[in-house]
Amino acid sequence: MSDATILLKGLTDAARRAARGLARADEGVRNNALLAAAKALRVRTDEIVAANARDLAGLSADRNAAFRDRLTLTSERVEAMAKGLEEVIALPDPLGRVLAQWTRPNGLHFRRVAVPLGVIGMIYESRPNVGADAAALCIKSGNAVILRGGGESLNSARAIHAAMADGLRAAGLDEACVQIMPSADRDLVGALLQASGGVDLIIPRGGRALVERVQREARVPVLSHADGLCHTYVHASAKPDMARRILLDAKMRRTGICGATETLLIDSAIAPSLLPVLVQDLAAKGCAFRADAKAREIIPSLPLADAVDFDTEWLDSVLSIAVVDGVEQALEHVAQHGSAHTEAIIAEDEVVAMQFLNGTDSAVVMWNASTQFCDGGEFGFGAEIGIATGKMHARGPVGLEQLTTYHYEVIGTGQVRG
């Protein structure tokens, strides 16, 4: 075994032991840990800000202002971190929920009960508070967590971790419920990805390169999304004003998030009258376009899309446009080009809307709403550790409930199968 593997095993063994204790801890104990951790964050504010200053001082000159800003922790941001922990306390306990129960003719009573997953590996980039947020959700859902933040924020991560450890200790929990990687060694990440049995789930949050590396190499199950190539389909029956309002929000509210609409699909029946207005609205906000031939028949000045544009997640003020003939063509386009993230239809025709909702397999399908609602807070989950687009276990925003699994409790009175 390599050094990294041995080191990682030490972490996962400790996490596994800690997880067993945490799984049996009452909600009150878990909440106490979060309360005490929030307090410790506030008490340690100066220390955290100073550690962060050391990280910032060590930043390479290549890093731009946006990156520096994401990395920066002010006392206000530490306060926000503490408040975030307190908000998690207020969320309902996801453990012990009885998901289903039934009794068989032989009298055996079955209960499907929510339990923690066990040990979660959280790999993230740039913003140091993601570590605190993730740790809070893991503790609340009874999971031990191993945190691996960006290499450039190691001092910040250690200072934040010290506060989390204070909280665990104060509540009488094993400090190994929250651990951080001891160094930025990439081999440690590699070992984490291979640690089947030691880690139950890995959640990567960050840029495409990170997520794709994790998806490619991990033997451990991963909840993630790489692409958010979302579509908004304006059906012939759409109310023009609603279409204008929704599309503007779906494309331009924040262009860099996974729920931003990247492609507009518009029915040929409504395109001649509505497309010019939609384009004008977006152009006024600085949006650029890539359009198919049919769209350019309506607005010749639109740049022509090439083949790869409809498979491109712009994460910018650029919108791909295709004119389609009806909902089946729209569904076909989504199936060919989408990433199973979020799609929306704008329509007054309920039959067509249902066809669209039933006809696509994306994690989230919306009728008469903006794709930008794909977010744990907007879903009412209270908190979100990430968004998943895979098919197994959890899809869409990953909140507290999605960090649990279940097992069966079977209550008998001496039944044998015979």
Interface residues toward a copy of itself, by CB under 8 A = 20, 23-24, 102, 104, 108, 110, 115, 117-118, 200-201, 221, 239, 242, 245-246, 248-250, 253, 335, 357-359, 361-370, 372-373, 375, 378-380, 390-393, 395-396, 405-418
- Closer to a copy of itself by CB, 63 or 333: give it: 333
Minimum Å gap between C-beta 415 and a copy of itself is 5
Q: Where are the alpha helices (DSSP H) in 58-128?
A: 65-71, 75-90
Residue closer to a copy of itself, measured from CB, 154 or 331: 331
To a copy of itself, the closest distance from the beta carbon of 30 in angstroms equals 14
Q: Which amino acid is located at 254 in the chain?
A: R
Q: At its nearest, how many Å lie between a copy of itself and the CB of residue 357?
A: 5
- Among 37, 22, 208, residue whose Cα is nearest residue 118: 22
Instruction: List the Cα angle 340/345/349 in 5-degree steps.
Output: 140
Query: Cβ(174)–Cβ(17) under 8 Å?
Result: yes
The least CB distance from residue 15 to a copy of itself, in Å, is 14
Instruction: Please report how close the Cβ of residue 161 comes to a copy of itself at its closest, in angstroms.
Output: 25
Smallest separation (angstroms) from a copy of itself to the CB of 307: 19
| Region of 382 on the Ramachandran plot (φ > 0 left; ψ -120 to 50 alpha; else beta) | left
Q: How far is the CB of 375 from a copy of itself (least distance, A)?
A: 8
Q: Give the residue from 130, 162, 159 showing the smallest Cα distance to 147.
A: 130
Q: Which is nearer to a copy of itself, 82 or 122 (CB)?
A: 122
What's the closest the beta carbon of residue 112 comes to a copy of itself, in angstroms?
A: 8
Nearest to 264 by CA among 226, 300, 238: 238
Q: Which is nearer to a copy of itself, 132 or 387 (CB)?
A: 387
Which CB atom, from 124 or from 381, has the smaller least distance to a copy of itself? 381
Compare residues 160 and 330 and give the one whose CB is closer to a copy of itself. Answer: 330
Tokens of 295: 């769209």
Give the containing element (helix H, strand E) for 300: none
C-alpha closest to that of 324 among 266, 409, 248:
266
Identify the CA nearest to 134 among candidates 194, 178, 189.
178
Scanning 225-292, the segments in alpha helix (DSSP H) are 240-252, 271-284
Q: Which is nearer to a copy of itself, 84 or 359 (CB)?
A: 359
Three-state DSSP class for 340? coil
Q: Among residues 163 and 192, whose Cβ is nearest to a copy of itself?
A: 192
Q: Give residues with Cβ within 8 angstroms of 153, minimum separation 6.
A: 52, 55, 71, 126, 128
